[in-house]
């Protein structure tokens, strides 16, 4: 039974956006996730500490926050300084070193984390009955071969994993409408007999319901599922993206479907949230995260990370 309230989902989306927007202000490498919060907040909301997560890089920090990470430690991980989980040995840029049972983007090669998550699901299936893995990736990443191989293995071995395609409709400047053959990316899963759902990725309650059903299935030994969540990134691919591949009208139309405003309206109408309090809460979150990120950035390289212990290599004779 879930303990996360719908109000808590709204708060998690607010926190996620506040951290994301603070990074946009302070980090020129940041890849903005504004507009996609419903996918990564809804998909990972009801998991337990024994489950494994491998979020898409656009949303990794939000998932870590939702699972109890400190924003200071995450921010330090992005800037690669001493207060990070890696002790300053690794600079995250867009995705810091992950927490326990969280598979991060160890390499900038898209799709690798999908393979690692599938491997983790294989491990869970052998060692931890009832545990599941949830793995996110973008529509562009869905085209990489390693994703097809992972889906095939998961279907063959009925692994306890839920694949969540966070379809923001662009791979950098390439629209998914021209990059994906066939009607829907989820059809690739169906071709492998994997249960697939196509959902509104700007509706956090729909995402939560679809992933929740899929996770229950995985826990019960029903094998993998695929959730295709259609969403939109309101910002550029990265900071300073000239965004010549889309129109301001298209962006404005999707801004009308802002997932945070959408749930907020529902909660206000139900009397579970006061509109003025909500605005104040959002402003507080942005001010807090801005201070956290500015402080992490100002900390720079100090203190220097201690040297890594190296194991000498031995050559085979």
Ligand X SMILES: Cc1ncc(C[n+]2csc(CCOP(=O)(O)OP(=O)(O)O)c2C)c(N)n1
Enumerate binding residues for ligand X (CB under 6 A): 58, 108-111, 138-141, 144, 168, 170-172, 237
Q: Could you tell me the smallest distance in angstroms from the CB atom of residue 21 to ligand X?
A: 17
Q: Could you tell me the smallest distance in angstroms from the CB atom of residue 217 to ligand X?
A: 25
Ordered alpha helix ranges (H), the chain: 6-26, 37-44, 60-66, 71-79, 112-127, 145-156, 176-179, 186-190, 204-219, 248-255, 259-269, 275-298
By Cβ distance, which residue is nearest to ligand X? 138
Nearer to ligand X, 108 or 306 (CB): 108
Nearer to ligand X, 141 or 264 (CB): 141
Nearer to ligand X, 10 or 57 (CB): 57
Nearer to ligand X, 125 or 168 (CB): 168
How far apart (Å, rounded) are the C-alpha atoms in residues 127 and 264? 41
Q: Are 140 and 171 in contact (CB under 8 A)?
A: yes
Q: Could you tell me the smallest distance in angstroms from the CB atom of residue 223 to ligand X?
A: 24
The residues, any chain, with a CB within 8 Å of residue 229's CB and separated by 6 or more, are: 38, 39, 43, 164, 165, 166, 167, 199, 200, 201, 207, 210
The residues, any chain, with a CB within 8 Å of residue 138's CB and separated by 6 or more, are: 56, 58, 110, 165, 166, 167, 168, 171
- Reduced to 3 states (helix: H, G, I; strand: E, B; else coil), residue 230 is strand
Nearer to ligand X, 76 or 110 (CB): 110
Q: Could you tell me the smallest distance in angstroms from the CB atom of residue 313 to ligand X?
A: 28
Q: Are 89 and 305 in contact (CB under 8 A)?
A: yes
Nearer to ligand X, 10 or 170 (CB): 170
Q: Could you tell me the smallest distance in angstroms from the CB atom of residue 49 to ligand X?
A: 27
- Reduced to 3 states (helix: H, G, I; strand: E, B; else coil), residue 227 is strand
Q: Could you tell me the smallest distance in angstroms from the CB atom of residue 282 to ligand X?
A: 24
């Amino acid at each position: 039974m879930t303990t996360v309230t719908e109000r808590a989902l709204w708060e998690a989306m607010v926190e996620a956006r506040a951290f994301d927007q603070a990074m946009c202000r302070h980090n020129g490498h940041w890849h903005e996730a504004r507009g996609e919060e419903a996918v990564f907040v809804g998909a990972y909301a009801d998991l337990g500490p024994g489950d494994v997560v491998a979020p898409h890089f656009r949303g990794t920090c939000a998932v870590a926050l939702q699972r109890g990470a400190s924003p200071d430690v995450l921010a330090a991980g992005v800037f690669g300084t001493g207060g990070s989980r890696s002790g300053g040995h690794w600079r995250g840029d867009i995705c810091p070193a992950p927490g326990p049972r969280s598979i991060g983007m160890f390499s900038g090669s898209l799709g690798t984390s999908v393979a690692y998550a599938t491997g983790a699901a294989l491990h869970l299936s052998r060692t931890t009955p009832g545990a599941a893995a949830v793995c996110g990736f973008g529509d562009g990443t869905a085209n990489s071969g390693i994703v097809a191989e992972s889906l095939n293995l998961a279907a063959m071995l009925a692994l306890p994993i839920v694949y969540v395609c966070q379809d923001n409709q662009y791979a950098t400047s390439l629209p998914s409408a021209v990059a994906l053959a066939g009607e829907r990316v989820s059809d690739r899963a169906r071709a492998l007999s994997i249960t697939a759902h196509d959902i509104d990725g700007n509706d956090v309650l729909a995402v939560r319901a679809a992933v929740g059903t899929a996770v229950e299935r995985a826990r019960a030994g029903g094998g993998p599922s695929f959730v295709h969540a259609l969403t939109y990134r309101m910002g550029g691919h990265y900071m300073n993206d000239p965004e010549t591949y889309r129109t301001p009208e298209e962006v404005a139309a999707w801004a009308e479907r802002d997932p945070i405003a959408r749930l907020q309206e529902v909660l206000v109408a139900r009397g579970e949230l006061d509109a003025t309090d909500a605005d104040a809460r959002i402003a507080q979150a942005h001010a807090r995260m801005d201070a956290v990120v500015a402080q992490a950035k100002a900390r720079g390289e100090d203190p220097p990370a201690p040297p890594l212990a190296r194991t000498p290599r031995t050559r085979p004779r």
